[in-house]
Structure 1
């Protein structure tokens, strides 16, 4: 027990030192903007406040097959993201690279691919959020093209066993690696089913990673509206992940994958829209104040069909609303066609979005 306290104290000191050293990479002025951490360890509190400004390496490793969604994870992206952001969220579709049975044995070549990305990012000094992303069946959703179906009776067991393997693989990695159990639980997981499954997955992780920070989000796609339904296990190393795309008719105008695409031409941001945006994060802040567990904004973004001036205004408003509440964030996403901040075609920044996020 004594040694555990020593390790925890040392971890807090190391994270604090890393946070100080990361000020040059997209960091916010956090003075006086601290979340309530009364129900987490000092190390997890320090880590949560150190995540700062981040980006998602989206549409890469969480596609059914890497490259299916028009972009692959290039070494260049690792370098650029790590140089300019303090945190990188790495979405991964493990379920489509694991055996279909209950054991869900992860394909070793794919596991090494993911580990290359994780290790490369950590070597560059950033925080890394590694998750399970787009396991469609677990929420009862339809499958994506090239995603295989498994026996419904083993869907949940596969999820637990996927985390067993991830946790074992990364048990000795630095505490700057954060696990996120599941991206956007929804559908049949809404409410209590997710509380039950998340507790089981966390228990499996804790067998090999007793002190690592783990993110768990509410249901209804990590929406703050479901925070009251979230029942977390007694664990002092948790962070709650929320997402926001409010107002949805602006951020998702023109996306082609919705059954009924929203019309384009919606602008932003008038007083009503700004109020909906700030209200979302204020609800998250109030939840944190009541529960003493820090909150992280793991996704926000506005689809490229919107006009650039409006998208810039939306991005800057959301960034400011999060930062004035001491909430770290990760933009969705880096280099794909939803709201990428980097253009693979020009091999340069989408400069207006970059300025809105980092200047």
Structure 2
């Protein structure tokens, strides 16, 4: 997406997604001043994860209040020449996190129709091809639904295109947007459809001590040093090789919508990881958005990163 002006970004995770949805959270977790900080980091866009229940009414219609919140966020960004990726992080009947207890989307025409209607509403309200991109759905997990997901994505793109014919659209694959799964996506519908992947590799380093991973290897008291994890540019080249080959063969670009390191790693090791993966992003012209701006166990603006942030932002 470098040629489209979306190249170096950061996620605003935890604002309109993965939160308690309280008015306090929605109104104050991210403020207009934060956009000044992000612009000051030299980034060109933000990715805004959004859950369907922020954007819809309880009955499943479009929420003017929810759309108004997104519109305000977009206004703040555009004032500072920051572009926006709108990421539908959770839709009715599906979430990447099983704990959210959303299920049935891939087998329900009613849920799918609701998904299409939501995207039609977003396309109509935010049809700004130069500044706003649409990411259809965050992290399909199960490889078994790739056929259904390809069909749903194609229909959603068809409907969006009737309203927003030139907007960038991002589509990711299974295994939580694994780069290895990009090859199983359908061919891009047009030259404004981009392949999306995420990268938190190696997980034992980026998620060390993650309390939500039920594996003794991720014990909260264990620390994994950067050198111990044997992370090199060649490692990431191997991780991305299939996605790079697929995108080149199909004439599209790649976008890494999430990548980052948990706050249990040292700030110094976090910088080393970002520097290493950045070298590969730059070599292959891969656009990206780091996870995440504030808190969410990965916060780049958190106080713990103050001593290394000037170095870190070189590698976002």
Asked if residue 334 in structure 1 is aligned to residue 290 in structure 2, the reply is: no
Structure 1 moving runs of 4+ over 4 Å = 66-69, 147-152
Asked if residue 114 in structure 1 is aligned to residue 70 in structure 2, the reply is: yes
Partner residue in 2 for 1:324: 283
Partner Cα distance (1:299, 1:239) in 2: 15
Deviation at 1:326, TM superposition (A): 0.9
Partner residue in 2 for 1:210: 165
Asked if residue 308 in structure 1 is aligned to residue 264 in structure 2, the reply is: no
Asked if residue 129 in structure 1 is aligned to residue 85 in structure 2, the reply is: yes
Partner Cα distance (1:59, 1:184) in 2: 16
1:213, 1:239 within 8 Å by CA — same for their partners in 2? Answer: yes
Partner residue in 2 for 1:9: none
- Indicate how the Cα distance of structure 1 residues 297 and 188 shifts in structure 2: closer, same or farther if over 3 A, else same: closer
Partner Cα distance (2:148, 2:95) in 1: 10
Partner residue in 2 for 1:288: 247
Gaps of 5+ in 1: 1-43
Partner Cα distance (1:165, 1:195) in 2: 21
The size of the alignment, in residue pairs, is: 305
Partner residue in 2 for 1:75: 32
TM-score, length-scaled by structure 1: 0.77
Deviation at 1:140, TM superposition (A): 7.8
Partner Cα distance (1:317, 1:255) in 2: 22
1:267, 1:310 within 8 Å by CA — same for their partners in 2? Answer: yes
- The secondary structure found in structure 1 opposite 2:94 is helix
- Indicate how the Cα distance of structure 1 residues 186 and 271 shifts in structure 2: closer, same or farther if over 3 A, else same: closer
Match of 1:162 among 107, 112, 118: 118
Deviation at 1:107, TM superposition (A): 1.9
- Indicate how the Cα distance of structure 1 residues 251 and 141 shifts in structure 2: closer, same or farther if over 3 A, else same: closer
Partner Cα distance (1:149, 1:113) in 2: 26
Match of 1:86 among 44, 61, 81: 44
Partner Cα distance (2:129, 2:94) in 1: 29
- Indicate how the Cα distance of structure 1 residues 354 and 283 shifts in structure 2: closer, same or farther if over 3 A, else same: farther
Deviation at 1:79, TM superposition (A): 1.9
TM-score, length-scaled by structure 2: 0.86
Gaps of 5+ in 2: none
Partner Cα distance (2:69, 2:155) in 1: 27
1:316, 1:357 within 8 Å by CA — same for their partners in 2? Answer: no
1:304, 1:338 within 8 Å by CA — same for their partners in 2? Answer: yes
Asked if residue 258 in structure 1 is aligned to residue 217 in structure 2, the reply is: no
Partner Cα distance (1:143, 1:270) in 2: 32
Partner residue in 1 for 2:184: 229
Q: CA RMSD in A?
A: 2.8
Match of 2:199 among 244, 251, 257: 244
Deviation at 1:306, TM superposition (A): 1.6
Partner Cα distance (1:259, 1:270) in 2: 22
1:61, 1:72 within 8 Å by CA — same for their partners in 2? Answer: no
Match of 2:231 among 273, 286, 296: 273
Partner Cα distance (1:205, 1:349) in 2: 40
1:247, 1:276 within 8 Å by CA — same for their partners in 2? Answer: no
- The secondary structure found in structure 2 opposite 1:280 is helix
Deviations 1:216-272 (A, max 9, x none): 112211101111211135312111111111101111111222344612311114584
Deviations 1:131-180 (A, max 9, x none): 10133732585343xx8889974322221111011111112x35211111
Partner Cα distance (1:279, 1:270) in 2: 19
